[in-house]
Amino acid sequence: MEIARIIAELRRQIGVWRKAGESVGLVPTMGALHEGHMALARAARAECGRVVASIFVNPKQFAPSEDLTSYPRREAPDLAMLASAGVDLAFVPSVDEIYPAGFATVVSVTGLTDVLCGAHRAGHLDGVATVVTKLLLQSLPDAVYFGEKDYQQLLVIRRLVADLDIPVRIVGVPTVRQADGLALSSRNAYLSPEERRIAPNLARVLQSIADAVAMQPKAVAAELARGVGELQSAGFEVEYLEIRGAETLAPTSDEVTAPSRVFVAARLGGTRLIDNMPIA
C-alpha cells in the first residue's frame, strides 16, 4: 500500500490508474479505525479496481468545546488495517495541506443540516460537507463509501453531490455492530467498563421503537416517550430521540407513513453516542 501526504501525490497516483482504465473507490475516515471502516474498505474493494482511504481528523467539524485534541490518533495501526483490507493508497494529509493559509470557503447544505446533530453541533455538518467536497475534488473517485451509522451525514453528502454536479456514486454501507448491538464507533474507546456495559441499551431501545411503530404506525409519540424514559433510567442523557423520513429527514410526529428511521444522540458519562435504525 502506498501512502500520500500531499494532494499532488494523491492525484499523481490516481492519474496513473486512470490512464490504465481502472476505477477508483474512496473511503474517507478520521482514523481510529475499527471493523466498521473495514466494511467500507471491503465494499470499495469489491466494486472498484483501486481503493483510496483517507485519514484526516477534520478540525472544521469540531466545536471549540468538543474533543478535537483528545480524538484518538493512531496512524501506524490504522495504516496496517487499511493494508490488510486491500486498500491501495492511504491519503494522510496535514491540516495545512487541506486548509492552507487564507482558506475561506465553507460548503453548507441547508435544510438537512438544521435538525438532529445539526441542531446540536453548530457548524459540524458544514465542516463535514466542506472536507468531503475537497476530498472528492482532490481524488475524483468513481464511488465514495460512508457508513449508515452517520446517516444524516450520508444524506448531506448525497445532496451536495447532486447539487454541485459532482460525478461520483455515493454508497451507504450498513452499520456494523458488536455482538451486543452497540454500533461501532471510534468514540466507544472513551467508555469506561461500566459505561460499555450500559451502552448497548441504545441499540436495544432503538430496535424496540422501530419494531413497535412498524406494527402500530400511530404509536410514534408514545414509543418515543417510552424510549426516552428507558434511556434516562439506564443512565443516558438524551440529546434527541426522533423518527424522521429516511430520504428527507422530515419529522414524523403522529404516524409513520413513509420510509423512516429512528434516530438518537445521547451522552453516557462524557461520551456522545449516535445511532439510527430503519423502520421496516
Collapsing DSSP to helix, strand or coil, 19 comes out as: helix
CB atoms within 10 A of CB 249: 23
CA distance 80 to 25: 19
What does DSSP assign to residue 135? H
CB atoms within 10 A of CB 179: 6
* Distance, CA of 191 to chain centre: 19
Collapsing DSSP to helix, strand or coil, 263 comes out as: strand
Q: Which three cell numbers stand for residue 237?
A: 442523557
Q: Alpha helices of the chain — where are they, by DSSP H?
A: 7-19, 35-47, 75-84, 95-98, 117-120, 124-139, 151-163, 193-198, 201-215, 220-234
Active site residue 120: no
Q: Which three cell numbers stand for residue 251?
A: 419529522
Q: Which residues contact 98 (CB under 8 A, 6 or more apart)?
A: 56, 58, 131, 134
* The dihedral formed by the CA atoms of 267, 120, 175 and 181, expressed in degrees to the nearest 10: 20
Amino acid making up residue 144:
V
Q: Which three cell numbers stand for residue 249?
A: 429527514
214 exposed, middle or buried (CB, 10 Å; 0-12, 13-18, 19+)?
Answer: middle
Give the DSSP H/E element, type plus range, for residue 215. helix 201-215
Please give the positions annotated as active site. Answer: 37
